[in-house]
Amino acid sequence: MKRFISLFILLFVFIVIVQAFERPARETIMFFPIDPTVRFTTAETKLSLQPQKNYVVDWIVTSSLDRTAYLRQDISLLFANGRLISTQSKWKENGKNLIQQKQLKQKGSRLFQAISYHQGELHNGNNIRSSQKMSGDVLYVIDSSFLPLQSFRKPTTAEQKTWANTLNKQTQTIVNKVAEQMGGILEKDDYYHLYLPELVQYNEQPFMDLTTNKTETMIGNLWEGLYKNYFLGIKKQNGSIESPIGSTVPLILIKKDYSKLFVVTETADGEIVILKQLLEFTK
Protein backbone atom coordinates (compact mmCIF):
# COMPACT_ATOMS: atom_id res chain seq x y z
CA MET A 1 0.00 0.00 0.00
CA LYS A 2 2.80 2.41 0.91
CA ARG A 3 4.56 1.55 -2.34
CA PHE A 4 1.36 2.31 -4.26
CA ILE A 5 1.00 5.66 -2.50
CA SER A 6 4.65 6.51 -3.23
CA LEU A 7 4.21 5.64 -6.91
CA PHE A 8 1.04 7.74 -7.03
CA ILE A 9 2.86 10.71 -5.48
CA LEU A 10 5.77 10.31 -7.92
CA LEU A 11 3.35 10.09 -10.83
CA PHE A 12 1.48 13.18 -9.62
CA VAL A 13 4.73 15.13 -9.24
CA PHE A 14 5.83 14.05 -12.72
CA ILE A 15 2.53 15.16 -14.24
CA VAL A 16 2.75 18.55 -12.49
CA ILE A 17 6.33 19.05 -13.72
CA VAL A 18 5.40 18.09 -17.30
CA GLN A 19 2.41 20.44 -17.23
CA ALA A 20 4.60 23.22 -15.89
CA PHE A 21 7.02 22.81 -18.80
CA GLU A 22 4.18 22.54 -21.32
CA ARG A 23 2.30 25.57 -20.10
CA PRO A 24 1.93 28.09 -22.84
CA ALA A 25 3.63 31.06 -23.29
CA ARG A 26 3.25 33.92 -20.92
CA GLU A 27 0.72 36.64 -20.54
CA THR A 28 2.95 39.46 -21.65
CA ILE A 29 3.86 41.50 -24.70
CA MET A 30 7.19 40.76 -26.35
CA PHE A 31 8.20 42.24 -29.66
CA PHE A 32 9.79 40.05 -32.33
CA PRO A 33 10.75 40.98 -35.91
CA ILE A 34 7.70 41.55 -38.09
CA ASP A 35 6.66 38.82 -40.53
CA PRO A 36 5.52 40.79 -43.61
CA THR A 37 3.54 37.81 -44.94
CA VAL A 38 1.14 37.82 -41.99
CA ARG A 39 -1.65 40.35 -41.58
CA PHE A 40 -4.63 41.19 -39.45
CA THR A 41 -7.89 40.81 -41.36
CA THR A 42 -9.75 42.59 -38.56
CA ALA A 43 -8.50 44.97 -35.88
CA GLU A 44 -11.14 47.21 -34.37
CA THR A 45 -11.88 49.17 -31.22
CA LYS A 46 -15.41 50.53 -30.93
CA LEU A 47 -17.05 52.79 -28.36
CA SER A 48 -20.80 53.30 -28.23
CA LEU A 49 -23.33 54.87 -25.89
CA GLN A 50 -26.03 52.84 -24.14
CA PRO A 51 -28.54 55.40 -22.78
CA GLN A 52 -29.54 54.80 -19.17
CA LYS A 53 -30.02 56.93 -16.05
CA ASN A 54 -26.28 56.77 -15.50
CA TYR A 55 -25.24 56.13 -19.05
CA VAL A 56 -23.12 53.16 -20.09
CA VAL A 57 -20.21 53.19 -22.54
CA ASP A 58 -19.93 49.93 -24.45
CA TRP A 59 -16.29 49.17 -25.32
CA ILE A 60 -15.59 46.32 -27.72
CA VAL A 61 -12.16 45.21 -28.99
CA THR A 62 -11.95 42.62 -31.76
CA SER A 63 -9.16 41.25 -33.93
CA SER A 64 -8.50 38.41 -36.31
CA LEU A 65 -5.22 37.22 -37.79
CA ASP A 66 -5.11 35.55 -41.19
CA ARG A 67 -3.69 32.38 -39.62
CA THR A 68 -3.36 30.61 -36.29
CA ALA A 69 -0.59 32.06 -34.14
CA TYR A 70 1.41 30.46 -31.36
CA LEU A 71 0.14 33.29 -29.18
CA ARG A 72 -2.51 35.96 -29.81
CA GLN A 73 -2.69 38.97 -27.53
CA ASP A 74 -4.70 42.17 -27.40
CA ILE A 75 -4.53 45.00 -24.89
CA SER A 76 -6.67 48.13 -24.80
CA LEU A 77 -6.75 51.35 -22.79
CA LEU A 78 -9.67 53.72 -22.32
CA PHE A 79 -9.21 57.36 -21.34
CA ALA A 80 -11.87 59.89 -20.35
CA ASN A 81 -11.08 63.61 -20.36
CA GLY A 82 -7.37 62.84 -20.41
CA ARG A 83 -7.17 60.19 -17.67
CA LEU A 84 -7.14 56.39 -17.82
CA ILE A 85 -10.40 54.88 -16.54
CA SER A 86 -10.10 51.21 -17.54
CA THR A 87 -8.06 48.57 -19.37
CA GLN A 88 -8.73 45.29 -21.13
CA SER A 89 -6.39 42.43 -22.02
CA LYS A 90 -6.80 38.96 -23.43
CA TRP A 91 -4.51 36.27 -24.76
CA LYS A 92 -4.97 32.91 -26.42
CA GLU A 93 -2.54 30.13 -27.27
CA ASN A 94 -2.82 28.64 -30.77
CA GLY A 95 -5.51 31.07 -31.86
CA LYS A 96 -6.22 33.80 -34.36
CA ASN A 97 -9.40 35.54 -33.15
CA LEU A 98 -9.94 37.60 -30.00
CA ILE A 99 -12.90 39.58 -28.72
CA GLN A 100 -13.25 41.61 -25.54
CA GLN A 101 -16.07 43.74 -24.20
CA LYS A 102 -16.65 45.97 -21.21
CA GLN A 103 -19.59 48.14 -20.24
CA LEU A 104 -18.73 51.09 -18.00
CA LYS A 105 -21.25 53.21 -16.10
CA GLN A 106 -20.40 56.87 -16.52
CA LYS A 107 -21.88 60.30 -15.91
CA GLY A 108 -21.18 63.82 -17.04
CA SER A 109 -20.02 65.10 -20.42
CA ARG A 110 -16.79 63.41 -21.39
CA LEU A 111 -14.37 62.80 -24.23
CA PHE A 112 -13.58 59.08 -24.42
CA GLN A 113 -10.44 57.89 -26.25
CA ALA A 114 -9.55 54.23 -26.65
CA ILE A 115 -6.44 52.67 -28.18
CA SER A 116 -5.66 48.98 -28.62
CA TYR A 117 -2.59 46.98 -29.59
CA HIS A 118 -3.17 43.67 -31.37
CA GLN A 119 -0.32 41.18 -31.67
CA GLY A 120 0.29 37.69 -32.98
CA GLU A 121 3.42 35.71 -32.10
CA LEU A 122 4.40 33.14 -34.71
CA HIS A 123 6.87 30.29 -34.23
CA ASN A 124 8.63 28.35 -36.96
CA GLY A 125 11.13 26.16 -35.12
CA ASN A 126 13.53 28.52 -33.38
CA ASN A 127 12.49 31.40 -35.62
CA ILE A 128 10.02 33.70 -33.82
CA ARG A 129 8.22 36.46 -35.69
CA SER A 130 5.28 38.70 -34.94
CA SER A 131 2.45 40.60 -36.54
CA GLN A 132 0.93 43.73 -35.04
CA LYS A 133 -1.68 46.39 -35.57
CA MET A 134 -3.27 49.18 -33.59
CA SER A 135 -6.85 50.38 -33.53
CA GLY A 136 -8.70 53.11 -31.69
CA ASP A 137 -11.89 55.06 -31.31
CA VAL A 138 -13.11 58.42 -30.00
CA LEU A 139 -16.53 59.19 -28.55
CA TYR A 140 -17.89 62.49 -27.25
CA VAL A 141 -20.77 62.07 -24.81
CA ILE A 142 -22.89 65.09 -23.88
CA ASP A 143 -24.68 64.60 -20.57
CA SER A 144 -26.33 67.89 -19.67
CA SER A 145 -29.54 68.80 -17.89
CA PHE A 146 -30.24 71.23 -20.74
CA LEU A 147 -29.95 68.70 -23.56
CA PRO A 148 -30.96 65.13 -24.31
CA LEU A 149 -28.17 62.59 -23.78
CA GLN A 150 -26.20 62.23 -27.01
CA SER A 151 -22.91 60.99 -28.45
CA PHE A 152 -20.88 61.57 -31.59
CA ARG A 153 -17.44 60.87 -32.99
CA LYS A 154 -17.17 63.97 -35.14
CA PRO A 155 -19.22 67.09 -34.40
CA THR A 156 -21.59 68.06 -37.20
CA THR A 157 -23.88 70.70 -35.69
CA ALA A 158 -22.87 74.05 -34.20
CA GLU A 159 -23.95 72.79 -30.78
CA GLN A 160 -21.85 69.65 -31.07
CA LYS A 161 -18.84 71.67 -32.22
CA THR A 162 -19.15 73.91 -29.14
CA TRP A 163 -19.28 70.89 -26.83
CA ALA A 164 -16.40 69.16 -28.62
CA ASN A 165 -14.29 72.30 -28.30
CA THR A 166 -15.07 72.51 -24.57
CA LEU A 167 -14.21 68.85 -23.92
CA ASN A 168 -11.06 69.09 -26.03
CA LYS A 169 -9.90 72.08 -23.98
CA GLN A 170 -10.63 70.29 -20.70
CA THR A 171 -8.62 67.29 -21.85
CA GLN A 172 -5.75 69.42 -23.13
CA THR A 173 -5.55 71.29 -19.85
CA ILE A 174 -4.91 68.00 -18.05
CA VAL A 175 -2.41 66.51 -20.47
CA ASN A 176 -0.59 69.79 -21.18
CA LYS A 177 0.45 69.98 -17.54
CA VAL A 178 2.77 67.02 -18.14
CA ALA A 179 4.11 68.49 -21.38
CA GLU A 180 4.84 71.81 -19.70
CA GLN A 181 6.83 70.13 -16.93
CA MET A 182 8.83 68.17 -19.49
CA GLY A 183 9.65 71.44 -21.22
CA GLY A 184 11.92 72.28 -18.32
CA ILE A 185 13.77 68.97 -18.61
CA LEU A 186 14.18 68.38 -22.35
CA GLU A 187 14.75 70.66 -25.29
CA LYS A 188 11.35 70.46 -26.99
CA ASP A 189 12.76 71.19 -30.43
CA ASP A 190 14.87 68.01 -30.26
CA TYR A 191 11.82 65.77 -29.96
CA TYR A 192 8.76 64.75 -31.89
CA HIS A 193 5.84 64.57 -29.50
CA LEU A 194 2.43 62.95 -29.59
CA TYR A 195 -0.10 61.51 -27.18
CA LEU A 196 -0.69 57.77 -27.07
CA PRO A 197 -4.10 57.73 -28.85
CA GLU A 198 -2.49 59.55 -31.79
CA LEU A 199 -0.12 56.65 -32.36
CA VAL A 200 -2.82 54.78 -34.32
CA GLN A 201 -2.16 56.90 -37.42
CA TYR A 202 1.22 55.16 -37.80
CA ASN A 203 -0.50 51.93 -38.76
CA GLU A 204 -0.58 53.33 -42.27
CA GLN A 205 2.39 55.67 -42.48
CA PRO A 206 6.00 55.71 -41.27
CA PHE A 207 7.43 58.27 -38.89
CA MET A 208 9.29 61.14 -40.52
CA ASP A 209 12.70 60.01 -41.87
CA LEU A 210 12.03 56.37 -40.93
CA THR A 211 11.28 53.36 -43.10
CA THR A 212 8.07 51.43 -42.54
CA ASN A 213 10.06 48.53 -41.10
CA LYS A 214 11.85 50.75 -38.57
CA THR A 215 8.58 52.44 -37.64
CA GLU A 216 7.02 49.04 -36.93
CA THR A 217 10.03 48.05 -34.84
CA MET A 218 9.84 51.23 -32.80
CA ILE A 219 6.09 50.84 -32.25
CA GLY A 220 6.46 47.18 -31.24
CA ASN A 221 9.20 47.96 -28.74
CA LEU A 222 7.21 50.90 -27.42
CA TRP A 223 4.15 48.73 -26.72
CA GLU A 224 6.34 46.09 -25.06
CA GLY A 225 7.61 48.79 -22.70
CA LEU A 226 4.16 50.29 -22.16
CA TYR A 227 2.73 46.91 -21.23
CA LYS A 228 5.42 46.13 -18.66
CA ASN A 229 5.86 49.60 -17.19
CA TYR A 230 2.47 51.27 -17.59
CA PHE A 231 -0.35 48.81 -18.33
CA LEU A 232 0.61 46.38 -15.55
CA GLY A 233 1.47 49.15 -13.09
CA ILE A 234 3.60 52.27 -12.80
CA LYS A 235 6.80 52.13 -10.77
CA LYS A 236 7.09 55.29 -8.69
CA GLN A 237 10.24 56.97 -7.39
CA ASN A 238 9.92 55.26 -4.00
CA GLY A 239 9.88 51.86 -5.71
CA SER A 240 6.18 51.14 -5.14
CA ILE A 241 3.96 49.99 -8.00
CA GLU A 242 0.77 51.97 -8.57
CA SER A 243 -2.19 51.14 -10.76
CA PRO A 244 -2.24 53.23 -13.95
CA ILE A 245 -5.94 53.98 -13.44
CA GLY A 246 -6.34 57.73 -12.97
CA SER A 247 -3.05 58.56 -14.69
CA THR A 248 -2.91 60.99 -17.59
CA VAL A 249 -2.76 60.02 -21.24
CA PRO A 250 0.90 59.09 -21.83
CA LEU A 251 2.92 61.71 -23.67
CA ILE A 252 5.45 60.17 -26.08
CA LEU A 253 8.60 62.15 -26.84
CA ILE A 254 10.80 60.72 -29.61
CA LYS A 255 14.26 62.17 -30.12
CA LYS A 256 14.59 63.37 -33.70
CA ASP A 257 17.71 61.28 -34.29
CA TYR A 258 15.66 58.23 -33.17
CA SER A 259 18.18 57.25 -30.52
CA LYS A 260 15.68 57.18 -27.64
CA LEU A 261 12.18 58.04 -26.56
CA PHE A 262 10.41 58.97 -23.35
CA VAL A 263 6.93 58.13 -22.13
CA VAL A 264 5.63 60.58 -19.56
CA THR A 265 2.52 60.42 -17.40
CA GLU A 266 1.17 61.86 -14.18
CA THR A 267 -0.10 59.25 -11.73
CA ALA A 268 -3.48 59.56 -10.03
CA ASP A 269 -1.81 61.07 -6.96
CA GLY A 270 0.09 63.69 -8.97
CA GLU A 271 3.59 62.23 -9.38
CA ILE A 272 5.27 62.73 -12.76
CA VAL A 273 6.77 59.45 -14.01
CA ILE A 274 9.22 59.35 -16.92
CA LEU A 275 9.98 56.09 -18.72
CA LYS A 276 13.02 56.02 -20.98
CA GLN A 277 13.55 53.61 -23.86
CA LEU A 278 16.68 53.37 -26.01
CA LEU A 279 15.96 52.63 -29.66
CA GLU A 280 17.88 49.97 -31.52
CA PHE A 281 18.49 51.85 -34.72
CA THR A 282 19.55 55.26 -35.92
CA LYS A 283 17.92 57.39 -38.54
- DSSP one-letter string for 132-176: EEEEEEEEEEE--TTS--EEESS--SHHHHHHHHHHHHHHHHHHH
Contacts of 70 (CB under 8 A, 6+ apart): 25, 93, 94, 121, 122, 123
Q: If you average pLDDT over every residue of the chain, what do you get?
A: 88
Torsion sign, CA atoms 40, 41, 44, 50: negative
> What whole-number distance in Å separates Cα of residue 60 and Cα of residue 63?
10
Average pLDDT value for residue range 80-92: 97
pLDDT tens digits for range 19-42:
333 334 456 799 999 999 999 999
> What whole-number distance in Å separates Cα of residue 14 and Cα of residue 30?
30
Q: Residues 230, 236, 239, CA angle at the centre, nearest 5°?
A: 115
> What whole-number distance in Å separates Cα of residue 229 and Cα of residue 263?
10
Coil/strand/helix, residue 272: strand
Contacts of 145 (CB under 8 A, 6+ apart): none
Share of the chain above pLDDT 70, in %: 89
Q: What is the pLDDT of residue 27?
A: 65
Coil/strand/helix, residue 121: strand
Q: Is the pLDDT of residue 229 over 80?
A: yes
> What whole-number distance in Å separates Cα of residue 68 and Cα of residue 189?
44
Q: Is the pLDDT of residue 13 over 50?
A: no
Q: Work out the pLDDT band at 74, boundaries 50, 70, 90.
A: very high
Average pLDDT value for residue range 141-160: 93
> What whole-number distance in Å separates Cα of residue 220 and Cα of residue 130?
9
| CATH entry, 40-159, from 2.60.40, 2.60.120, 2.40.50, 1.25.40 | 2.60.40
Share of the chain above pLDDT 90, in %: 76
Q: Is the pLDDT of residue 2 over 60?
A: no
Enumerate the domain spans of the chain: 40-159, 169-278
Residue 97 · residue 124 · CB < 8 Å: no
